[in-house]
């Protein structure tokens, strides 16, 4: 995630503006609080879009277009053996890219830290968790929360992951996170709901 993109996500997550204050990044039309997002594949930037622009870029997963509409699917997964892929921290998300590269991202107070996963480890996880086999490259992620005794595993669109990164970056205080970040992370996961 690039710095300008992260700054924009943080501003949106912490800003308490009115519902019509956000605008489509493509045409400038106002968008409601609940709106769709596009992935600009050229620079891996997530952009807000209005309903009309969202429909323009409705494509399937095999699309080679410059913009890809993010899916809305959220699916709670059974426990995922994160040791298979070597996730070293309690909160992470993993994105498989169209070129075959799989990257784990770890939210932190300075933004996400990234590490590329070994292909054999990722394949081993796909063998163990069949629900991950139909994860849409570039636009969906495996989201993991095992921090503080939690056991939550989700298949989510990447904009959910970016919201979590913005939350951690905006709320983290000191070395351990402070008193507000962990309740906010817990609330974030409590508010995730399955949708197709």
CA angle 116, 93, 69 (to 5 degrees): 100
What is the Cα–Cα distance from 168 to 97, expressed in whole angstroms?
A: 24
Q: pLDDT value at position 163?
A: 93
Contact 157, 74 (CB under 8 A): yes
Q: Are 102 and 96 a contacting pair, CB within 8 Å?
A: yes
Give the tens place of pLDDT for each residue, 18-69.
445 789 998 999 999 889 999 988 888 899 999 988 888 775 444 566 788 9
Tens digit of each residue's pLDDT (9 = 90 or more) over 107-122:
999 888 999 999 999 9
For residues 87 and 135, the model is more confident at 135
Closest to 173 measured CA to CA, from 162, 163, 184, 189: 184
Percentage, residues of the chain above pLDDT 70: 86
Banded model confidence at residue 179, pLDDT cuts 50, 70, 90:
confident
Q: Cα–Cα distance between 162 and 13 in angstroms, integer?
A: 10
Q: Where are the beta strands (DSSP E) in 80-170?
A: 91-96, 102-106, 113-116, 140-145, 152-157
Q: Which of 173, 179, 139 is nearest to 159 (CA)?
A: 139
Distances (CA, A) of 155 to 65, 92, 176, 178: 23, 12, 27, 28
Please count the residues of the chain.
Answer: 196
Token look-up 């913009």 returns 67
């Amino acid at each position: 995630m690039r710095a300008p993109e992260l700054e924009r996500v943080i501003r949106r997550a912490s800003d308490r503006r009115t519902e019509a204050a956000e605008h489509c990044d493509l045409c400038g039309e106002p968008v409601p609080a609940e709106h769709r997002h596009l992935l600009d594949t050229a620079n891996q930037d997530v952009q807000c879009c209005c309903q009309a622009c969202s429909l323009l870029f409705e494509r399937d997963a095999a699309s080679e277009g410059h913009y890809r509409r993010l899916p809305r699917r959220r699916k709670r997964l059974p426990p995922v053996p994160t040791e298979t892929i070597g996730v070293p921290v309690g909160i992470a998300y993993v994105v498989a890219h169209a070129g075959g590269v799989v990257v784990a991202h770890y939210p932190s107070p300075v933004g996400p830290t990234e590490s590329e996963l070994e292909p054999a480890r990722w394949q081993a996880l796909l063998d163990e968790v069949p629900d991950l086999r139909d994860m849409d490259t570039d636009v969906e992620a495996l989201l993991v929360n095992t921090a503080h005794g939690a056991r939550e595993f989700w298949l989510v669109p990447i904009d959910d992951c970016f919201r979590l990164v913005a939350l951690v970056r905006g709320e983290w205080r000191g070395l351990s996170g402070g008193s507000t970040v962990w309740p906010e992370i817990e609330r974030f996961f409590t508010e995730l709901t399955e949708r197709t």
